[in-house]
Amino acid sequence: MSDSLERNTKISQLKEPLVKKLCEVLDKSSSKGWRKLGEIVGSDRRFKVSSDDMEMCSLKVLELEGSPSLMLLRLIGERGCTTGHLMDYLQTLGNQDALQCLKPPALQIVIQPQSVALICGHNLRLSCHAVCKSPVQYQWFKYNQEVPNSLSPDLVISPVHLKDAGFYICRVNSVDAFEFSQWVQVDVLNVGVSYGGQSYQSLDGRMKVVIQPQSQRLHVGENLQLECGAVGRPIPRYQWHRNGVPIANASKRKLTDQHGRYRCEISSSSSSNSERMWTNEVDVIIARVVYRSGFLPLLCLISATDKVALLIGNLSYQNHPQLKAPMVDVYDLTNLLRQLNFKVVSLLDLTESEMRNAVDEFLLLLHKGVYGLLYYAGHGYENYGNSFMVPVDAPNPYRSANCLCVQSILKLMQEKETGLNVFLLDMCRKRNIHDDSTPNIVLRVTANIVFGYATCQDAEAFELSSSGFTNGVFVKFLKKRLLDDEKITVVLDRVAEDMGQFDATKGKQALEIRSSLSERRALTDPILPGDSADLLHAHSRQWAKAHELPESMCLNFDCGAQIKLGFAAEFSNVLVIYTHIVKKPEDMSSCQAHVTDFSQDLDVDPKEMNRETPEETGIYLLSSCLPQHCLYTRLSSLQKLREELVFTVCLQGTFASMDDDHPVHWTKSVNIGKPLIARLDLHRAMRRNSCLQTCMMPHSPSHSPCHSPGPEHRLYPHHGSLQAQDNNRLSPQQRYLDICEHLQGTLGGCRDSYCDHLSQRRYEPPYDSPEGLSSSPGRLSIPIEATDDIDELQTVFINSLQPQL
């Protein structure tokens, strides 16, 4: 490499060992160290080093293994300083030891060998070349043993065999010096048929998958081994995924694990390019053996035709107390359910119409044999065995017409002939005294229903009071058990036992399970589409439509700067945008980029945009997965987006040649279409065939009875309100329930204050004036549209859904 080329090399491109050695020399020197170097560079107007910069460098001594010199080199490197400039500064500084670090050694390896994977029977060639003023000698080693007849720069083994796989290194000698090359790995694949009849050289070093994993059906106790393989230079890297989630410590070609859906990500990177590809996706099914007394063991293969989950977390209520835990709960359950191969739609803060439309989209993904799971966290209530989820725009007080009835959704799921219906309701189940309607929901008799209630009937659910973000009590214990390969009711039983040992909620909150499940169905069951393969693919495309992230992009500005835009999804309706300056002109002393001009549908707070840390913009859960040194913006409520998302990227920079330091501005408009859930238009008017038909009750949202007085009455039971009511206008059922509630309050069974470290979570007791009840018709006046046979069948079915003890 010529001296001129070396001088033009950017500091940021110097190799890490060289930079580390240089920093050690500068950090240790007191009179000719980094401080004096900073003063010399600061006098050069091209690379301004201010007193604030020097103070920031000095603070690095307070960090573990912190280096002020490294910080200084990064700063001037970002401002365009080259190796030639640095050598001139070190010459002025008079630090010969530091200057020597940048000069090439007498013996230098200029071509390093590369790791490679190739097929058995092909030709192996490893190359190592060095330059020196005196003659150079080579010797190749495999591990610590010399390779016979390997005294040339190129090691050639023709043909290569399985025994030749291993690690190699080359020693280079000159008269007064020696160097070792880097270690390289040779992986030899045993493939029965050569790759397309071609030799390895014809592949031009590009990565190709030559061994695909195979689907397997095993019995319990049998060993599983999946294998894949790729050829290429440099050697490919492997990462196995189970049910779409990377498996820890599974980075070899062969994998031993349990049942699930598998594929392997294979990647290869070099200084010039990087490649990534996937193997085929395969299913591994382990059949369970069921033993029956007096019979031979039966092979019982229980599976789903697909798995779909809708997760809704409502926390930012407009007319009721706001919550914190639903966001964390939905995020954690999303990641866990994806590991179980569920298609997950996770949504935050939905209005009534948005919730109903989201349920419609959820129902579109269901068909015969599908496992459907609905999780809801937010305010809620329960009247006469029917559970109601409260949207964020519900009035105060709310009634059934303003909410979604869970049993109505179950009825629609049953019409899809689903294989398993699971409802996890993380909300309170107190009775709503403002809602006197009795839904008439006739459910089918099916042995595939599981309800997991976060709390018992007529009780509250809690979230832990904390300054940070924590789970609610239910998910705190549920997430520890959700991946267990057990019948879903067994999993919930164990969660109930764990919750029962939690001192903070003993006697206040207990998990309740209601189930009609007759088979050993588990959330870990494999997916076998069977005759529904085409339908599965269609539904998969529908789900993918709502989860497509915009492609990352690089924007080139006229000034020569390049800005990278990246995107990440925190939830199905929450998008994160991060910007990073990839390149800036050498004569530009400072450069900043930010995004602005978003649609008013999204209601983005400008104060929380373009922040230097994810947490500053509200990205608490995804922050560890985002790249560093970017500006971050969080866009929530994407379901409200009516048009394509268009925004502006603004770039401003200052130039060293400009005396007034006045920034120059450039802008570019970016259109990323409708990202994530925005493609489904959940903001639209509710469909005629939606869950509206079975969820709506006597009061419609536009004709709800008048709202109650102010919030000062919300949390305190009026124990004397029973006498204030006109008992002649109430049904016998209403009078009986109100008497029971009054007695509970008198005996202290109904809490009217918060615990020291708990807060009421999913329910705001609507204890207001009793007028809302007196204006409503009695429950007994509502007609029951069912025959005697249906009534009897319904009674039998409801009795089968008894709480599990």
Active site residue 379: yes
| Selection from 459, 464, 322 nearest residue 379 by Cα | 322
Q: Which residue has the tokens 């796989």?
A: 165
Q: Where are the beta strands (DSSP E) in 327-406?
A: 343-348, 370-377, 380-383, 386-389, 404-405
Q: 220 burial class (0-12, 13-18, 19+ CB within 10 angstroms)?
A: exposed
Asked whether 234 and 185 are in contact (CB, 8 A), the reply is: no
| Selection from 267, 273, 217 nearest residue 241 by Cα | 267
CA distance 498 to 474: 10
Residues 6+ apart with CB under 8 A from 751: 460, 508
Asked whether 479 and 779 are in contact (CB, 8 A), the reply is: no
CA 605 to chain centre: 24
- Can you tell me whether residue 432 is helix, strand or coil? coil
Longest Cα–Cα distance of the chain, Å, equals 113
Q: Which of 405, 428, 591, 650 is catalytic?
A: 428
H or E stretch including 769? none
783: its two tokens: 């007609």
Active site residue 170: no
CA distance 677 to 361: 10
Q: 730 burial class (0-12, 13-18, 19+ CB within 10 angstroms)?
A: buried
Whats the size of the chain, residue-wise?
805
Q: Are strands 245-246 and 306-313 parallel, antiparallel or unpaired?
A: unpaired
CA distance 336 to 330: 10
Q: Which of 85, 259, 379, 699 is catalytic?
A: 379
Q: Which residue has the tokens 């020693």?
A: 171
Residues 6+ apart with CB under 8 A from 551: none
Active-site positions? 379, 428
